[in-house]
């Protein structure tokens, strides 16, 4: 199934928990999507949801960090997060710093970072953190393929 304009729900960043996709039957792989730009977040969310994943959205660095801390302290009610897709530059917290903290905490969840025209240093740092870096603007198909690959490598697949 593919996300289309027709299937796009009304969007409200404040109501990202639970997102509309939470209504999907339990079991699909869960993707945590952090992106401060609503249009971009919606676009990626639609694309991933169209592939059958359950997409959990965070509207900024703070929401992202909060989600992740819940994940680390096992307070996350909806089960483990399989893939993290995050913007790099967000208000409050930088995506790279958050992923670095995650890795420090011993969480090895696959991470896809998105950023506009990254510098060589950014690329290097992302590589060190074991994150895949997507250079905005990128093709949505590439991102979808990447998430699928990461999940397959992890042993899970969308339902």
CA–CA distance, 147 with 51 (Å, rounded to integer): 10
72 binds other proteins (CB under 8 A): no
137 binds other proteins (CB under 8 A): yes
Q: Are 71 and 107 in contact (CB under 8 A)?
A: yes
In angstroms and rounded to an integer, the radius of gyration of the C-alpha atoms of the chain is 14
- Record the tokens describing residue 145, joined without a space: 């393929």
CA–CA distance, 32 with 141 (Å, rounded to integer): 18
Nearer to other proteins, 39 or 153 (CB): 39
146 binds other proteins (CB under 8 A): no
23 binds other proteins (CB under 8 A): no
Q: 115-134: which residues touch other proteins (CB under 8 A)?
A: 115-117, 119-120
Q: By the criterion CB under 8 A, which residues form the site for other proteins?
A: 2-5, 37, 39-40, 43-44, 46-47, 87, 89, 114-117, 119-120, 135-141
């Amino acid at each position: 199934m593919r996300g289309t304009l027709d299937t796009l729900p009304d969007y409200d960043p404040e109501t990202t928990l639970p997102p509309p996709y939470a209504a999907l039957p339990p079991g699909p792989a869960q993707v945590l999507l952090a992106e401060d730009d609503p249009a971009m977040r919606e676009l990626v969310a639609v694309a991933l949801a169209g592939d059958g994943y359950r997409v959990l959205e965070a509207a900024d660095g703070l929401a992202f960090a909060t989600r992740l801390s819940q994940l680390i302290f096992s307070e996350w009610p909806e089960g483990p997060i399989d893939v993290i897709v995050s913007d790099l530059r967000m208000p409050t917290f930088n995506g790279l710093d958050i992923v670095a903290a995650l890795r420090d905490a011993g969480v090895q969840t696959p991470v896809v970072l998105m950023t506009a025209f990254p510098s060589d240093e950014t690329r290097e740092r992302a590589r060190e953190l074991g994150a895949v870096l997507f250079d905005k603007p990128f093709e949505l198909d590439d991102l979808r393929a990447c998430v699928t690959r990461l999940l397959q490598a992890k042993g899970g697949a969308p339902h």
